[in-house]
Structure 1
Amino acid sequence: MSPDRPAVGDLFRRFRERLAVEGPARPGEHGGHAPKAGRNGRRRGGGGEQLNVPPVEFTSYYGRPILKAPVWKWDIAAYLFSGGLAAGSSLLAAGGQLTGRPALRRAGRVTSLAAVSASTFFLIHDLGKPARFHHMLRVAKLTSPMSMGTWILSAFGPAAGVAAVAETAPRLPEHGLLGLGRKLLPPAGNAAGLLAAVTAPALATYTGVLLADTAVPSWHEAYPELPVIFAGSALASGAGVGLLAAPTGEAGPARRLAVAGAALELWGSHRVENRLGLLSEPYATGTAGKLLRAGRALTAAGVAGALAGRRSRMLSALSGGALLAASVCTRFGIFHGGVASARDPKYTVVPQRERAQRRAGQQPHVNGPGAGPNGG
């Protein structure tokens, strides 16, 4: 080694001192080279600059929805309303029957038959062919809300029909074959009316179970609330019929029905707009948000008018109309909210990622206490 050349140790010491002062060499400076990235995505020997690709907001491939939006149209939303109206009216009629209020009983029975007939029409219209409704009666599958709903509708419809036809008994002649019908129809109508009332809760709520059983995000996640909302909506609509049709002296059961239905409907609507996180958004925005807000306002106005209008026929009738309109807004609002959540891919992807992260956080670490030398 030449005596004029510094020792290797001195050169290394000078290099470390300069590195501490100036930092690592950057690409293109002093002929240095960029440090390579390690497996963890950081530069070796550098300042730890992140090289991973930053997260991006997911939309979908080619901008297309991930789920196929429901092909149901307005007729299914109308089916949801008319089915609930039929159920609520039959309960109203049973209350009038058991408490000796003929006007309330008559209004409930006639409305129930008209509503269940409309409900059947809307369902068959959506199916496309009447034979398809018949074919659904070939089996009874307890795990299928659609199958159970078909059987519930088939049991409720004839009972509601007999109860409504029985209201024509006083108009039949007293003698002859029709006179026999005049004697037999009232007891048959009472039995059929009670049978329809027993079936009514299932008719009112099964549509909520049906919607929650789909893959539509905002319907599926709201499975605890939808049957409650639909039950409350059915009771409120039935109460609206009683307030519209019955004199104030017979409208007591309708007022109590309105209070119970409004409580269930308002509680459920508040829950779906606040409990579901991101999936509550479709219920609070757009067409669904407007309809549900209108439904809440009409429900509150209808209950207030029903309680304040005990002696005012006009106020009772206005309250009944408000409750019926509120039921329409609520059912259509829930329908539109679910359809909107299926069309936007974020309502599918973001909750899935959140559930995956929660599951990953609940799993024990493979190298935690008690783990073997190989992480097992």
Structure 2
Amino acid sequence: MTTSEFDAYRPPEKPRRRFGRRPGGRRRHGNLGTQPGGDGTREVPMVPDAEFVSYYGKPVVKPPPWEWPVALYLFVGGVAGGSGVIAAGAQLAGLDTLRRNARLGAMTAVGISGAALVADLGRPERFYNMLRTFKITSPMSVGSWILTGFSSGMGVAVANEVDRISGNRLPIGPVRPVLRAVEGPAGIGAGVFGPPLAGYTAALLSNTAVPTWNGAYKHLPFVFASSASLASGGLAMVTTPTSQTRPARTLAAIGCAADLVATKVMERQMDPVLVEPLHHGTPGKLLRWSERLVVAGGIGTLFAGRSRAVAVASGLALMTASAFTRFGVFEAGLESAKDPRYTIEPQKRRLAARRAAGITGDSITTA
């Protein structure tokens, strides 16, 4: 039951006698529904204001049973994908040190990513089971194949790097010429899989019914892609001498600008209610600090070519900012699923918009 504007007011009535004694000594009782001593114009609502509650106090949308390993997977997946792009570019530009460090960083991130994914799945064989089929409509299925393709190409490239670091002393014998022959195509292939690896996790989140994630489905991939760019660029700035990091610094600077713009556009295009979890509590703190670190790291990137210390500090700031973005968005989505308000209010607004547009004959809106 709900209240209406007529519950609190009644038309004026003729003045009535106050409480008193009737002839014969009997007391007169007030009208039902009015306050004692009132004349009927101060009637109070009999039904309380509606609140956003659900059956037995349970959320309308069940929060996903994901914990911090999934948020870590989101972050290191972006680092791996961006580093794969940097490694492919360095391979084409002949920057050997940058290529080597980017490949090693990408493979390390992929290893952490796989461990976090298996930790969330519970059993390693579940990841293998996801590779038994390919379903284009499933972000998890597509993402599993992207991760596999990237890891395969990067694994071949890293094997060559490790062999060169050891002075060609690995006991691989006749396999060495084969590795050298496929190194170039494998490195470029990993670079091709890099952007999808960096951004597919946004589709993985927004394809759920979690209110804040779903409400950001149009722009969250751009936020994650730009976040991966500044994180991978920051990693290269930390691990590689400044004489070879110009491509990485350029990618990081572009990522900083894109991250700030994409985040603001995403929030403006979302339902105002669904933006609230991004600004409140722990997610709000993480995202505010992420923005500050992006600005600081971006400014430092402009001067990182002149100072190794500035490059390292800026790179660490950018990597931390990227991690805060991923963890902040992740936590905001979980919080939005716990409160029925974030599910009900946007639904009511969308329903009102459809009715205002004259759409009343479908399965969602009735006349």
TM-score normalised to structure 2 length:
0.83
Selected match of 2:279 from 279, 284, 289? 284
CA distance in 2, matches of 1:326, 1:52: 52
Does residue 1:342 correspond to 2:343, yes or no?
no
216 and 365 in structure 1: CA distance in 2 versus 1, 3 angstrom threshold: closer
Aligned partner of 1:275 in structure 2 is 269
Aligned partner of 1:294 in structure 2 is 289
Unaligned runs of 5+ residues in structure 1 are: 1-21, 35-45, 367-375
Q: Is the 8 A contact 1:173 1:182 kept in 2?
A: no
Q: Is the 8 A contact 1:218 1:279 kept in 2?
A: yes
SS of the equivalent of 2:131 reads helix
SS of the equivalent of 2:222 reads helix
Q: Is the 8 A contact 2:304 2:311 kept in 1?
A: yes
Aligned partner of 1:352 in structure 2 is 347
Aligned partner of 1:229 in structure 2 is 223
Measured after TM superposition, the shift of residue 273 of structure 1 is 3.5
Percent sequence identity over matched residues?
A: 43
Cα distance per residue 1:216-275 (max 9 Å; x no partner): 000001001111111011111110121111111111101111012112222222234443
Aligned partner of 1:303 in structure 2 is 298
CA distance in 2, matches of 1:210, 1:116: 18
CA distance in 2, matches of 1:131, 1:60: 38
Selected match of 1:318 from 296, 299, 313? 313
Q: Is the 8 A contact 2:298 2:314 kept in 1?
A: yes
Cα distance per residue 1:64-84 (max 9 Å; x no partner): 221111110000000001111
**For the pair shown, which has the larger CA radius of gyration, 1 or 2?**
1
RMSD: 3.1
Selected match of 2:233 from 222, 239, 248? 239
Moved more, 164-173 or 324-333: 164-173
SS of the equivalent of 1:138 reads coil
CA distance in 1, matches of 2:147, 2:295: 30
Does residue 1:165 correspond to 2:159, yes or no?
yes
Equivalent residue letter for 1:290: K
Cα distance per residue 1:88-122 (max 9 Å; x no partner): 11111111111111111011100111111111111
Q: Is the 8 A contact 1:247 1:313 kept in 2?
A: yes
Does residue 1:145 correspond to 2:139, yes or no?
yes
Selected match of 1:134 from 121, 124, 128? 128
Equivalent residue letter for 1:279: L
Q: How many residues align?
A: 337
Measured after TM superposition, the shift of residue 169 of structure 1 is 3.4
Moved more, 123-132 or 61-70: 61-70
316 and 187 in structure 1: CA distance in 2 versus 1, 3 angstrom threshold: farther
Measured after TM superposition, the shift of residue 298 of structure 1 is 1.1
212 and 364 in structure 1: CA distance in 2 versus 1, 3 angstrom threshold: closer
Q: Is the 8 A contact 2:354 2:360 kept in 1?
A: no
123 and 27 in structure 1: CA distance in 2 versus 1, 3 angstrom threshold: farther
SS of the equivalent of 2:196 reads helix
Q: Is the 8 A contact 2:227 2:255 kept in 1?
A: yes
Unaligned runs of 5+ residues in structure 2 are: 1-11, 23-27, 32-39, 362-366
Cα distance per residue 1:290-325 (max 9 Å; x no partner): 111111111111111111121101111111111111
